[in-house]
Amino acid sequence: MEYTTLILLLPFLGFILLGLLGTRLRPGVAGAIGTIVTGVVAILCYWTAFEYFGAGRDASGVYPVMIPWNTVWLPFGGSLHIDLGIMLDPISVMMLIVISTVSLMVHIYSFGYMKGERGFQRYYSFLSLFTMSMLGLVLATNIFQMYIFWELVGVSSYLLIGFYYTRKEAVAASKKAFIVTRFADLGFLIGILIYGFYTGSFSFTPDAPLMGTAKMLLPVALGLMFIGGAGKSAMFPLHIWLPDAMEGPTPVSALIHAATMVVAGVYLVARMFPLFIGYAPEVLHITAYVGAFTALYAAVVACVQSDIKRVLAFSTISQIGFMIVALGVCTSSDPHEGGLGYMASMFHLFTHAMFKALLFLGAGCIIHAVHSNEMSAMGGLRKYMPVTHITFLVACLSIAGIWPLSGFFSKDEILAACFNFSPWMGWVMTAIAGLTAFYMFRLYYCIFWGKENTELHTEHRPHEAPLSMTLPLVFLAAVTLVAGWIPFGEFVSSNGQAYHIHIDWTVAGTSLCVAALGIAIATWMYLREDRTVADGLADRFSGLHKAAYHRFYIDEIYQFITHKIIFACISTPIAWFDRHIVDGFMNLLAIVTNKVSWAIRQMQSGYIQRYSIWFLGGALGLAIILLLV
């Protein structure tokens, strides 16, 4: 299957070509090149998946790991070296499908959305760069290759968030995104260093069972790697960059900040899952608690945001929390014995990618129509944009977990896994699922129902998006409708064996009831034109409402740390110290030398009589010394 190298090579060449030619290409041509390249890559990915799963299981009942291509890129001496290669296994193939599908949809969608934007060519070249990096990340044969592409997706995200680089907010957001994830990557890097040193290789599975120090330090290494994953996947308290990242173009948010890059952390944990289970189950459970807290936090915040993209961003954070929880609650690698969460997590990753991309693209259509992100500019849009309305509703139902949409199936598996772990965790996650239903329908009603902003809408009449934008919506909605019926456990499971998904109707029933309750409350509060209930609640709990609206002031804390502590208390004093103490010491040396030479120079007065006194005195002195000696 050597052709899989093309999956990486083609987008890279696309990036180089578009980047070098830049504005010399007409925008349409550049977009076409990018889209065709991505289309070819998508076909290759589907073909790879078809061939890989078509080849069937090996004798031990698992899909074999295939490495069609691998080469040493940079040796570090000893047994350590960074390899570049391509590794196919069930989760990487699954990710190939997710990435290439969403990427292709976004490429097509952007034709309409970005039409007439300055820097259209640049946009497509960055999209190609991102696609290449993300595919490289999931295809990595070793942890260091993953880190390489991890950094590359980070930078593509930086470039794309800062696409509108003349806007101050976009620049600040891109900077924030990069630096926060970089900070987290520091943990990742140190984790890799520990891992590499003690296991003697960077591969995902050590060659021999670990003993002694290696075994002792592996949990530390895995924990540090999870910090890196938490940074990319926006886990609390490293989530602060993701809401700001919504400054980027909306299709970018759909691709990077909803469907693919932000799940890299989940993918990382899944990739290291055998090690987590084997050597560090307690670290895995810590990730579950982090994930659960993040899910709760983000869901609460999402309930009160007024910017539709921010609501979606917090919803993304919350959903990624679900995936992390699902991985974290695993207690063994057997899907029948506490390993269910692995499959559930990957399943949710898959379905979430589709419906969240759909939500973002839908939001893009809405923003395209009303030229604002704020809910106040919307309301009653259902009659203007029927396609967007229906597809958005499908996605909302799916994320709320309503049968028979895809979200129901994957969320049900997650909840089942949580109940297996502890009832406490199960109930918390069920409650968050209810909250999810509530805030998604709040969003839905505020956009498509409720009071219309007639003033704005008569001035500029909202309209349905062009075909290039609605086509991806329809496609993704179709996927969302049917994806739940995919026998996902047949392809992906924690130990690779086939697993038959069976719905636990007590769990499913509970979650359905809770979701329905959430929807009902949202309907009651937001369907009507007057929102007395919602406003009344906001007034009654104004402190909580305000805190949640300001995202519990986490950003301000960060602001304080970076500006007041790092800049004001570390950098400025160091710079001062350098200029005045270190450099001052050097200048002092020079000044002292100058002063001494000045003092010596004063003896050369130029007065001949003073010289003769010195001369006589000297002669006398010498004479006396000679006489005495």
Kindly state the smallest distance separating residue 67's Cβ from another protein, in Å: 19
Pick from 511, 512, 525: nearest CA to 304: 525
Q: Does 82 bind another protein (CB under 8 A)?
A: yes
**Residue among 109 and 150 whose Cβ is closer to another protein:** 150
Residue position matching structure tokens 């994930």: 291
Q: Among the candidate windows 389-397, 412-420, 443-451, 585-593, which touches another protein by CB under 8 A?
A: 585-593
- Kind plus residue range of the DSSP H or E element containing 88: strand 81-88
Amino acid, res. 75: P
Q: Does 169 bind another protein (CB under 8 A)?
A: no
Q: Does 55 bind another protein (CB under 8 A)?
A: no
Kindly state the smallest distance separating residue 366's Cβ from another protein, in Å: 27
Q: Among the candidate windows 172-180, 480-488, 511-519, 526-534, which touches another protein by CB under 8 A?
A: 172-180
Q: Does 588 bind another protein (CB under 8 A)?
A: no
157/119 Cα distance (integer angstroms)? 16
Q: Does 165 bind another protein (CB under 8 A)?
A: yes
Q: Does 193 bind another protein (CB under 8 A)?
A: yes
310/343 Cα distance (integer angstroms)? 29
Q: Are 94 and 492 in contact (CB under 8 A)?
A: yes
Amino acid, res. 350: F
**Binding footprint of another protein, residue count (CB under 8 A):** 59
Q: Does 569 bind another protein (CB under 8 A)?
A: no
Angle at 344 between CA 209 and CA 252, to 5 degrees: 105
**Residue among 529 and 578 whose Cβ is closer to another protein:** 578
Q: Does 622 bind another protein (CB under 8 A)?
A: no
Of 590, 596, 622, 623, the residue at the interface with another protein (CB under 8 A) is 590
564/567 Cα distance (integer angstroms)? 6
393/387 Cα distance (integer angstroms)? 10
Cβ neighbours for 229, distance < 8 A, ≥ 6 positions apart: 184, 188, 235, 264, 265, 266, 268, 269
Could you list the beta-strand ranges (E) of 469-617.
none
Of 152, 210, 220, 481, the residue at the interface with another protein (CB under 8 A) is 152
Kindly state the smallest distance separating residue 575's Cβ from another protein, in Å: 5
Of 586, 600, 626, 629, the residue at the interface with another protein (CB under 8 A) is 586
**Residue among 193 and 534 whose Cβ is closer to another protein:** 193
- Kind plus residue range of the DSSP H or E element containing 250: helix 250-254
123/155 Cα distance (integer angstroms)? 14
Q: Does 428 bind another protein (CB under 8 A)?
A: no
* DSSP 8-state symbol, 564: I
Of 46, 47, 53, 197, the residue at the interface with another protein (CB under 8 A) is 197
Q: Does 606 bind another protein (CB under 8 A)?
A: yes
Q: Does 574 bind another protein (CB under 8 A)?
A: yes
Q: Does 597 bind another protein (CB under 8 A)?
A: no
What are the beta bridge partners of residue 74? 82
Q: Are 351 and 410 in contact (CB under 8 A)?
A: yes
CB count in 10 Å sphere of residue 315: 24
Q: Which residues bind another protein (CB under 8 A)?
A: 72-78, 80, 82, 144, 147-149, 151-152, 155, 158, 162, 165-166, 168, 171-172, 174-175, 178-179, 182-183, 186, 189-190, 193-194, 196-197, 566-567, 570-572, 574-575, 578, 582-583, 585-586, 590, 601, 604-609, 612-613, 616
